[in-house]
Chain A
Amino acid sequence: MLGKLFKHEFRTTGRYIVTLLVLLIVVTPLTALYLKFSTSDVIDKFTINNFNIFKIFSVLSVLVYVAALISAVTATTILLIYNIYKSMVTSQGYLTHTLPVPTSYIIISKGVVMFVWKVLSVIVAFISLMIFTYILGVWHFDDIAAFIKELMKLNLSDYMPSMILLAATLIFGTIQKILMYFASFAVGHRMNGHPFLGSVIAYIIGSFILSIISAIANTITNFAFIYTGSYGLTDTIDIMMIPAIIISIVSGVVFYIISVYMFKNKLNI
Chain B
Amino acid sequence: MTPLLECRTLTKKYGNTLALNNVSFTLERGRIVGLLGPNASGKTTLIKLINGLLTPTSGEVLINGMRPGIESKLSVAYLPDTMFLNDWMNVKQLINYYSDFYSNFDVDKAYDMLKRLNIDEKMRVKAMSKGTKEKVQLILTMSRNADLYCLDEPIGGVDPASRDYILSTILNNYNENGSILISTHLISDVEQILDDVLMIRFGCLYIHKTVDEIREEKHMSVDELFREVFRC
Contacts and interface: CB of A to CB of B under 8 A. Distances in A.
Interface of A: 1, 4, 7-8, 12, 15, 91-95, 97-102, 192, 265-269
Contacts of A192: 14-15
B97 A8 contact: yes
B100 A100 contact: no
B70 A98 contact: no
Interface in B72-93: 73-74, 76, 78, 80, 82-86, 88
A101 B100 CA distance: 11
B84 A266 contact: no
A247 to B, nearest CB: 31
17 contacts: A4-B100, A4-B101, A8-B97, A12-B86, A15-B88, A94-B51, A94-B80, A95-B84, A98-B52, A99-B101, A100-B74, A266-B55, A267-B54, A268-B54, A268-B55, A269-B48, A269-B53
Contacts of B86: 12, 92
Interface of B: 14-15, 48, 51-55, 70-71, 73-74, 76, 78, 80, 82-86, 88, 97, 100-102
Per DSSP, are chain A's interface residues mostly helix, strand or loop, or mixed? loop
B90 to A, nearest CB: 12
A102 B70 contact: yes
B51 A98 contact: yes
Given A15-B88, A92-B86, A100 B53 contact: no
A101 B101 contact: yes
Nearest to B55: A266
A158 B54 CA distance: 55
Contacts of B55: 265-268
A250 to B, nearest CB: 28
Nearest to B82: A91
Given A4-B101, A94-B84, 8 more contacts: A4-B100, A15-B88, A92-B85, A94-B78, A95-B85, A100-B71, A100-B102, A192-B14
Nearest to A105: B70
Nearest to B87: A92
A5 B165 CA distance: 34
Contacts of B84: 91-95
Given A98-B76, A100-B101, A267 B53 contact: yes
Contact of A97 (B52, B83, B102): B52
Q: Which 9 pairs between the two chains have the least Cβ-Cβ distance? A: A100-B74, A94-B84, A100-B73, A94-B80, A4-B100, A91-B84, A91-B82, A99-B101, A100-B70
